[in-house]
Amino acid sequence: MQEPRLHWMRGQAIEEAGAARALEWIGLDDAGEPIARVVRILGPVSAGWRHYRAVALDTEARVVQLRPPPPEGAFWLACVGGRVVGRAALPLQAVRRVEAALGD
């Protein structure tokens, strides 16, 4: 098993079935600087009369609409800096996308 190159820590969370679940995992470099994140895609959500198929939280916990919506089965976004480098069904798969992107 290949060990992760970044140091990953829990980021923003949401309460689900009475327990806090991570909505975000943050990848830190050796200097402890956050340089990447994997973030859970939420949706569909409605806000007033508006309806969003897919949203995610940005680094400042603002809700961002994803356009076009991610393909079926993609529940996590892999981001390096502000750039989306991949999508995945599971958080660990998204982490590997980030690390692969950093290795390129």
Partner 1 sequence: MSETPLARIRNIGITAHIDAGKTTTTERILYYTGVSYKIGEVHEGNTTTDYMEQERERGITITSAAVTCEWKGNRINIIDTPGHIDFNIEVNRSLRVLDGAVFIIEGVAGVQPQSETNWRLADRYNVPRVIFINKLDRTGADFFRAFATLKDKLDIVALPLQLPIGIEDKFEGVVDLIEMKAIIWEGGELGAKYHDAPIPADLLEQAKEYRQNLLDTALSVDDAAMEEYFEHGDVGIETLKRCIKAGTITGVFRPVLCGTAFKNKGVQPLLDAVVDYLPSPVDVPGIKIAAEEGEDETAERRRIKADPAAPFAGLAFKIINDKYGTLTFVRVYSGTLRSGDSVLNTTKSHRERIGRMFQMHADKRAEIKEVSAGDIAAFVGLKDTGTGDTLAANEDPVVLERMAFPVPVIDISVEPRNKESIEKMSLGLQKLASEDPSLRLRTDQETGQTILSGMGELHLEIIIDRLKREYNVEANIGAPQVAYRETISRPHTEIYTHKKQSGGSGQYAEVKIVFEPLDRNSGVVFENKVVGGSVPKEYIPAVEKGIRVQAESGVLAGFPTVDFKYTLVDGKYHDVDSSALAFEIAAKACFRDGMKKAAPIILEPVMDVEITTPQDHVGDVVGDINRRRGMIQNQESSGSTVIVRAHVPLKEMFGYISDLRSMTKGRASFTMQFHHYDPVPRNIAEEIMAKSA
Using CB under 8 A as the criterion, what x/- string covers residues 20-39 for binding partner 1?
xxx--x--------------
Site membership for partner 1, residue 47 (CB under 8 A): no
* Minimum CB distance to partner 1 smaller for 23 or for 66: 23
Site membership for partner 1, residue 99 (CB under 8 A): no
What are 44's two structure tokens? Answer: 């569909």
The CA distance from 94 to 25, in Å, is: 10
Which of 36, 57, 91, 98: binder of partner 1 (CB under 8 A)?
91
Q: Residue 52 contacts by C-beta under 8 Å, 6 or more apart in sequence?
A: 43, 44, 45, 46, 65
